[in-house]
Chains A and B, each alone.
Chain A
């Protein structure tokens, strides 16, 4: 079974702290996407990583794709209350581009 395991499941931090959330699998993925979902809304795409070892930055957010393309991380620097939400990773397994696998998400709360 191809799974994407996200950790931690829940995270509550104070404004200004740094944090890292993880998306791990035992399978290789063609690419991984990160989405953020705010309460009462649909997920919104943040980034897609495609190449093993790739690092992408989006303001205070840094995304990394593992060298073996089995895992990814999201690091947030100086978190703000506006970063609060559910962070989801998803991707198509290598060799099966018609199937998108979703992680269960990390629920982040940034307290003022």
Chain B
């Protein structure tokens, strides 16, 4: 089975901090995705990557950046955390560029105070 591991289940940070969310997958997938999930808004794509050192903006990239130095690891960076970035963050990987299907980690519930 595919295993996608997110570094933290719960995280509390302060406004203005730089926040790193880490995601590692063990199935040699080239395609990795970062989403945030909010009540009433569903899953929204922040960034995705089709290969090492490659990244593309999703639907809501503002305030975020990503890093993919190794195939198995995809990091999401909040450059200067704000309270409106309080959310559930989900990382996913996929064998296919279409993202069909996707394998998700358990999520990081991030609170920005």
- With a CB–CB cut-off of 8 A, which chain A residues contact B100? 31, 33, 48, 91-92, 100
Contact among B41, B45, B98, B104 for A42, CB-based, below 8 A: B104
Interface: A105 (CB within 8 A)? yes
Q: In the complex, which residues 19-46 of chain B have their Cβ closer than 8 Å to any Cβ of chain A?
A: 40-43, 45
Q: Which residues of B contact A42 (CB under 8 A)?
A: 4, 90, 92, 104-107
Interface residues of B in 41-65 (CB under 8 A from A): 41-43, 45
What sequence of 0s and 1s flags, for each residue 91-113 of chain B, a beta carbon within 8 Å of any chain A beta carbon?
01000011111111111010000
Contact with B along A78-97 (1 / 0, CB 8 A): 00000000001011100001
Q: Is the interface of B mostly helix, strand, loop or mixed?
A: loop
Residues of B within 8 A of A105 (CB): 42
Task: Identify A92's interface contact among B92, B98, B105, CB under 8 A.
Answer: B98
CB <8 Å contact, A40 and B98: no
Please count how many residues in chain A sit with their CB below 8 Å of the partner chain's CB atoms: 21
Task: Assess the B42–A103 pair: CB atoms within 8 A.
Answer: yes
Partner of B101, one of A33, A41, A97: A33
Contact present for B102 and A97 (CB under 8 Å): no
- Asked if A45 lies at the interface with its beta carbon under 8 angstroms from chain B, I say yes
Q: List, in ascending order, chain B residues with CB within 8 A of A68's CB.
A: none
A91's nearest neighbour on chain B, judged by CB, is: B100
Question: B40 to chain A: which residues have CB within 8 Å?
Answer: 104
User: A80–B101 Cα gap in the complex (Å)?
Assistant: 26
Q: Which residues of A contact B109 (CB under 8 A)?
A: 40
With the chains together, A24 CA to B98 CA distance in Å?
20
Cβ of A43 within 8 Å of any chain B Cβ, yes or no, is: yes
Q: Closest approach, in angstroms, between the C-beta of A105 and any C-beta of chain B?
A: 6
27 residue pairs A–B, Cβ–Cβ below 8 Å: A30-B98, A31-B100, A33-B100, A33-B101, A40-B107, A41-B107, A42-B90, A42-B105, A42-B106, A42-B107, A43-B43, A43-B102, A44-B104, A45-B101, A45-B102, A88-B42, A90-B43, A90-B102, A92-B98, A92-B99, A97-B97, A97-B98, A100-B99, A100-B100, A100-B102, A103-B42, A104-B42
